Amino acid sequence: MNEMQSKSPCPSTAIPKRVFHFGRCFWLTFLVLSLAYAWYCFYVPVNSIAWADNYTSAQQHAADSAKPIILYFTGEWCSPCRVMKRQVWADEQVKTLVNSQFIPVAIDVDNPANAAVLARYKVGGAPVTIIADSQGNALRWRVGGIGRPEFLELLRAPNPSAENDL
């Protein structure tokens, strides 16, 4: 009887193999999903938008071509900005429409050189998207991250100053 008792493991210290295997699979899956999500949050595809170098050059180019300006206020730390870059700016229809009908300029809200532009449009954070006429007067804007359908609607909305002229 003593031999039998010494051979049987104590039930309180024995871990079933099935539970150990489940725990290992759970944490491995959690690690893989966490890494995939982190990559997704920081991944931004290359887009072929013809971005102006800065606000001054964008305004000059807009005045020469009589096209409206798209001001996109963004920051490196901004997660909604990254989502917009991935879902909106990388879209083929958006790229075609923006490059043909607008002068786009991305403005980094953290760059001290952009302080005057931030003050002019009263922008305190990112993302903010403003459609301005060729003189830089704001026509339409959206604060916060927006999706592709809402962005296309913003681009296609009628010009409020043109409506007042009728």
Nearest-angstrom CA–CA distance, 90 and 45: 7
Q: Provide the residue range defining the domain that includes 24.
A: 2-42
**Spatial contact of 160 and 150, defined as CB atoms under 8 Å apart:** no
Show Cβ contacts of residue 58 under 8 Å, excluding neighbours closer than 6 positions.
52, 69, 71, 103, 104, 105
pLDDT at residue 57 above 50? yes
Query: 80 with 144: CB under 8 angstroms?
Result: yes
Domain count, the chain: 2
The answer on pLDDT for 81 being more than 80 is yes
With the CA atoms of 32, 33, 36 and 40 taken in that order, what torsion angle do they form, in degrees rounded to the nearest 10?
Answer: -170
Residues 139 and 110 in one domain: yes
CATH number of 67's domain = 3.40.30.10
The pLDDT of residue 44: 65
Q: Is the pTM of this model over 0.85?
A: no
